[in-house]
């Protein structure tokens, strides 16, 4: 990496990290998490972006060339060949089930039955392997069949390929273009694990009335599964936040939120923070009745994206100066508005909620696919004009201790075949046990966490 590119990378990352930590920066970062507009701007179809990693990267290169003020780009969890290899049913994908230029869409079904809570609670492995995965992954519909066994094999291989795609891309963006990531790794809140892919919204709402204790018990179990999953997908160098989209909190009353959603979500967030990470949470829908709870978490550890239905000014009143906030521009303004409207909106945000840092101007958790380029350009120009605090100041990236940290509140990683069992089978170990144990446990963990991605 040339010095020039390294400086650029550090300047961008430092600006982003300092904003999250509520520290001084030279200017407000241009730091959307889900910049859906980026590849579309460069001429990609949505299908090309999720199927062809070369085209994805090429598109990003064009976007970065034209919008060099952007500080981070961008999250994309989906590499479609993995989804095809196992026949994942939870998404309709562009080019496969939808027209190539449409965005991917989540399909909610009841993949867990109302009477299966005890199995999930008492034996998550059995639940995932024998109930959930065969229902949610079409190629595994018949456990034990040749096709199913092949799907596991292909799924594991595709996972490694996807990890390679993501890693190569991250390194390329960093070393060739000086571009950091807005987040790396992801999870969903324990309640959403149940409410999205397992029970669905209808199912979970019936459950919180009909069997509330089971829902709570299940959430407590899921905390550890999902925290391990999040850590297994996170940036080992801890530079970037872990991503969590939140889906069903906006349907709940404050009391339901406090009872069913928050305790296990809070616990998961605490585990990740204690492990040395920051978290970027999309507060989808209107969180106005719930967001004060983020005051309970340590200061400067979260970026909270406020959705279009949330009131950015009220969010700032409650949470500003405690957690970094992002948002403030309605999605419709990117698509239907004018550069002048955009400029005025950004100016207003910079003069109010963005005045003292710890704030990122963004759409409602995203920049829409159909954004008019002139509106996006107007947003950036206005951020530079009105969101510069001290242009002589230089931010430096934070240095984190890499590697995993033991977190007391986190249960040990569950494994299908723990080392103790394997050791018993092996009998006497002739050489050094650790040399055998470590990779054994690493692969067990990888396999185990692989299962949990399908709840996303």
Partner 1 sequence: MSELAKALTDLEENKVYQLVDEKIKNGVSPLDIIAECNEGMVGVGNLFSSGEYFLSQLIFSAEIFKNIMQQLEPLMPKSDAGDSASKVIIGTVKGDIHDIGKNIVANLLRGSGFDVIDLGVDVSAEKFVETVRETGARVLGLSALLNFTYPEMKNVVDALTEAGLRDKVTVIIGGAPCNEQVREFTGADYYAEDAVTGVNICKKIYQ
- What residues make contact with partner 1 under the rule CB under 8 A? 92, 98-99, 102-103, 105, 107-108, 201-202, 205-206, 208-210, 250-254, 256, 285, 289, 307-309, 330-333, 335-337, 368-370
Least distance (Å) between residue 254 CB and partner 1: 8
Least distance (Å) between residue 192 CB and partner 1: 14
Least distance (Å) between residue 341 CB and partner 1: 9
Least distance (Å) between residue 206 CB and partner 1: 7
C-alpha 285/C-alpha 346 separation (Å) is 22
**Residue closer to partner 1 (CB basis): 55 or 345:** 345
> What single string gives the DSSP state of each residue in 75-114?
-----HHHHHHHTB-SEE-BTTTB-TTSPPEE-----S-G
**Residue closer to partner 1 (CB basis): 234 or 346:** 346
Least distance (Å) between residue 259 CB and partner 1: 11
Nearest alpha carbon to residue 355 among 325, 311, 318? 325
Least distance (Å) between residue 219 CB and partner 1: 16
Q: How many CA atoms lie within 13 A of 185 on its CB side?
A: 22
DSSP reduced 3-state for 331: helix
The answer to whether 260 and 212 are in contact (CB under 8 A) is yes
**Residue closer to partner 1 (CB basis): 19 or 32:** 32
C-alpha 137/C-alpha 85 separation (Å) is 9
**Residue closer to partner 1 (CB basis): 102 or 445:** 102
**Residue closer to partner 1 (CB basis): 61 or 341:** 341
Q: In what order do the strands lie in the sheet with 302-306?
A: 242-246, 279-283, 302-306, 324-328, 359-362
Least distance (Å) between residue 160 CB and partner 1: 31
**Residue closer to partner 1 (CB basis): 235 or 307:** 307
**Residue closer to partner 1 (CB basis): 190 or 285:** 285
């Amino acid at each position: 990496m040339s010095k020039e590119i390294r400086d650029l990378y550090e300047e961008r990352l430092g600006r982003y990290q300092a904003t999250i930590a509520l520290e001084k920066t030279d200017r407000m970062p241009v730091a959307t998490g889900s910049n859906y507009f980026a590849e579309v701007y460069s001429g990609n179809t949505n299908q090309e972006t999720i199927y062809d990693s070369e085209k994805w990267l090429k598109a990003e290169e064009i976007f970065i060339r034209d919008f060099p003020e952007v500080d981070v780009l961008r999250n994309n969890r989906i590499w479609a060949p993995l989804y095809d290899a196992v026949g994942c049913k939870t998404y309709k994908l562009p080019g496969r089930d939808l027209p190539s230029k449409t965005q991917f869409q989540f399909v909610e079904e009841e993949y867990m039955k109302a009477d299966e809570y005890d199995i999930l609670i008492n034996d998550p492995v059995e639940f995932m392997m024998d109930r959930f995965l065969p229902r949610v992954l079409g190629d595994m519909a018949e456990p034990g069949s040749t096709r199913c066994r092949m799907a596991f094999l292909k799924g594991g291989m595709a996972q490694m390929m996807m990890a390679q795609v993501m890693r190569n891309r991250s390194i390329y963006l960093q070393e060739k273009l000086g571009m950091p990531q807005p987040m790396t790794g992801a999870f969903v809140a324990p309640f959403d694990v149940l409410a999205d892919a397992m029970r669905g919204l209808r199912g979970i709402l019936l459950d919180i009335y009909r069997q509330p204790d089971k829902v709570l018990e299940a959430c407590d179990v899921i905390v550890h599964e999902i925290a391990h999953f999040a850590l297994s997908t996170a940036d080992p160098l801890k530079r970037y936040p872990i991503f969590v989209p939140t889906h069903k909190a906006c349907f709940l009353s404050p009391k339901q939120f406090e009872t069913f959603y928050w305790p296990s979500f809070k616990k998961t967030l605490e585990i990740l923070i204690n492990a040395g990470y920051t978290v970027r949470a999309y507060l989808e829908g209107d969180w106005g009745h719930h967001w004060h709870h983020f005051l309970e978490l340590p200061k400067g550890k979260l970026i909270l994206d406020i959705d279009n239905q949330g009131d950015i000014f009220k969010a700032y009143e409650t949470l500003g100066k405690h957690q970094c906030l992002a948002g403030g521009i309605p999605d419709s303004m990117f698509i239907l508005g004018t550069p002048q409207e955009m400029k005025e909106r950004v100016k207003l945000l910079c003069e109010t909620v963005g005045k003292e840092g710890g704030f990122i101007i963004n759409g409602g958790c995203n920049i829409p696919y159909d954004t008019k380029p002139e509106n996006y350009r107007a947003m950036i120009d206005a951020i530079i004009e009105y969101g510069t605090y001290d242009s002589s100041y230089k931010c430096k990236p934070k240095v984190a201790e890499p590697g995993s940290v033991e977190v007391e509140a986190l249960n040990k990683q569950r494994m299908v075949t723990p080392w103790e069992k394997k050791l018993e089978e092996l009998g006497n170990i002739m050489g050094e046990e650790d040399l055998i144990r470590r990779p054994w446990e690493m692969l067990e963990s990888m396999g185990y966490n692989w299962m949990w991605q399908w709840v996303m």
